[in-house]
Amino acid sequence: MPKLYQPEAFAVPDGIYLDGNSLGLMPHAAKQAVERRLNEWATQAVVGWDEWFGLSESLSPQLARLAGARPEEVIATGSITANLHALLATFYRPQGQRRHLLATALDFPTDLYALRSWADREGAELRLIPSRDGHTLHPDDIAAAITDEIAIVLLPTVLYRSGQLLDVARWTAAAHQQGCLIGWDAAHSMGAVPHQFHDDGADFAVWCSYKYLNAGPGAPGGLYVHERHAGVLPGLRGWWGNDKTSQFQMDNEYRRAGDAGAYQLGTPPVLSLAALEGALEVYRGVDPEELRARSLELTDLLLALAEEQLPEMQVITPRPAAERGGHVSLQWQHNRQVSLALRARRIIPDYREPGILRLAPIPFYNNEDDVRGVVQAMREIIDSREYEAAGEGSAVS
Ligand SMILES: Cc1ncc(COP(=O)(O)O)c(C=O)c1O
């Protein structure tokens, strides 16, 4: 079993990096894998496709371990947004009064854009589970919103701002009890929180791989579809979703791949897949439960220090370990400037409006010194009013 803490396996910038929940650091293995594939392109040209042809499928066993799924139920492909559209095109089948879509008021906007485009097509409603405190969801509100008028429920495993972790087994069972299908956006949990999507019975899930999976900016994401749907014809079809053995027969007849590869559309981005291929090496042999336990140790410390030393900040992440993911979120009206002042000190946090600093200590390359360092720096920045001198900063990251 390799040790979890292995900063030497990553390109770690000077300072403290706590933004692995937005863009994970580059594993050297990712760079090596891209270089290897580039070299194949240089030396083999089109003959390289003999190997690249099955590259996405070759990553399924490793992704399946992290998703708690069977290898045939997952595939590395697309982006969260594109995969959501592909899955809604397949599974959103409004019938009679069961026609509406359900998400949450706290979802990442792209999920809502995707869902609303399907609601609009059908003249249906996109219903949103409200939040009482603007940060988290109350179980009673989730339960009340799941009714027999809902065709599909989409929930985030971890809420992107507050970091609240939802119980996949519980809400999957609740959705099924009401006759709804349920999908999960696992952007903020894949690679950070162990999943059992198959045993929990979730219908589908989507994720990206540029966050905790460390596969680089714009790396292909992934999806999971429970094997009970294995025969369903994808609502969006392309030649890469054809059965591999007949894909190159070119006889104009689509034969669905037997596995989740059926949801692929066109030619995969081999060079970015190579980065994912290399990045997943970091996870090889790592026990997801052990990774999670270490992540909780670091976020426990961060929560304790923040509560003790940063009283002006509101901790908007739920305290119980079973209710939070891999990051801790602190809200304060001046946090945009605090985040810029931290960057000026080579400490990289993550910032989201309104006033939310997200901090994610990653067990692979962060330790207690980083956690203590960021809290101490924030105390100094506030006490010295250093943050008041910070400018507007970037609107992007
Ligand atoms: C919860 C969640 N969903 C979706 C996305 C983005 O989707 P995509 O990968 O399609 O850009 C993000 C990006 O941070 C996210 O946090």
Domain ranges of the chain: 7-26+287-389, 28-283
Average of per-residue pLDDT across 145-167: 98
With 50 as the cut, is the pLDDT of residue 1 above it?
Answer: no
Distance (Å) from CA 181 to ligand 1 centroid: 21
Q: Packing angle between helix 270-279 and helix 28-44, nearest 10 degrees? A: 140
Instruction: Over range 63-81, report the average pLDDT.
Output: 98
Confidence of residue 251 (pLDDT cuts 50, 70, 90): confident
Q: Which atom of ligand 1 is nearest to the CA of 22?
A: 14
Q: What is the pLDDT of residues 307-326, one digit of tens each?
A: 999 999 999 999 999 999 99
What mean pLDDT, rounded, does the chain reach?
96
Look at residue 259 in the predicted model and tell me its pLDDT.
Answer: 97
- Whether residue 396 is predicted with pLDDT greater than 80 in this model: the reply is no
Widest Cα–Cα separation across the chain: 71
Query: What is the 174 CA–ligand 1 centroid distance (Å)?
Result: 25
- Name every protein residue with a CB atom under 6 angstroms from any ligand 1 atom: 79-81, 108, 110-111, 156, 160, 185, 187-188, 208, 221
Expressed in angstroms and rounded, the spacing between residue 219 Cα and the centre of ligand 1 is 12
Residues that are catalytic: 108, 185, 210-211, 358
Q: What percent of the chain has pLDDT over 90?
A: 94
The torsion angles phi and psi of 116, rounded to 5 degrees, stand at -70, -30
**Residue 271: pLDDT band by 50, 70, 90 thresholds?**
very high
Ligand 1 pocket: which of 77, 80, 162 to mutate (most atoms within 8 A of CB): 80
The mean pLDDT value for 78-97 works out to: 97
Crossing angle, helix 80-91 and helix 109-122, to 10 degrees?
30
Distance from Cα 231 to the centre of ligand 1, integer Å: 28
Mean pLDDT, rounded, for 360-387: 97
Average pLDDT, stretch 285-299? 96
Residue 213 has pLDDT above 90, yes or no: yes
Q: How confident is the model at residue 354 (pLDDT cuts 50, 70, 90)?
A: very high
pLDDT of residue 341: 96
Compute the 3-state secondary structure of the chain and give helix, strand, coil in percent, each to the nearest 5. Answer: 45, 15, 40
Cα–Cα distance for residue pair 230/40, rounded to 1 Å: 34
CA-nearest residue, atom 14 of ligand 1: 22
Question: Which fold, 7-26+287-389?
Answer: Aspartate Aminotransferase, domain 1 (3.90.1150)
Q: Do domains 7-26+287-389 and 28-283 have the same CATH topology?
A: no
Q: Stretch 218-238: mean pLDDT, rounded?
A: 97
Question: What is the CB-side half-sphere exposure of residue 286 using CA atoms within 13 A?
Answer: 26
CB 359 within 8 A of CB 289: no
The Å distance, Cα 83 to ligand 1 centre, comes to 11
**CATH code that applies to domain 28-283:** 3.40.640.10
Question: Does position 261 have pLDDT exceeding 90, yes or no?
Answer: yes
| 60-86 core/surface letters (b: 16 or more CB in 10 A; e: else) | bebbbbbbbbbbbbbbbbbbbbbbbbb
- The residue whose CA is least distant from atom 7 of ligand 1 is 80
Closest CA to 165 of 77, 101, 106: 106
Ligand 1 atom closest to residue 107's alpha carbon, by position in its atom list? 1
- What pLDDT does 366 receive? 98
Task: Determine the pLDDT at residue 394.
Answer: 64
Helix axes 288-309, 368-383, angle to 10 degrees: 20
Which of 160, 190, 213 has most ligand 1 atoms within 8 Å of CB, for mutation?
Answer: 160
Confidence band, pLDDT 50/70/90 cuts, at residue 397: low
Distance in angstroms (rounded) separating the CA atoms of residues 337 and 318: 24
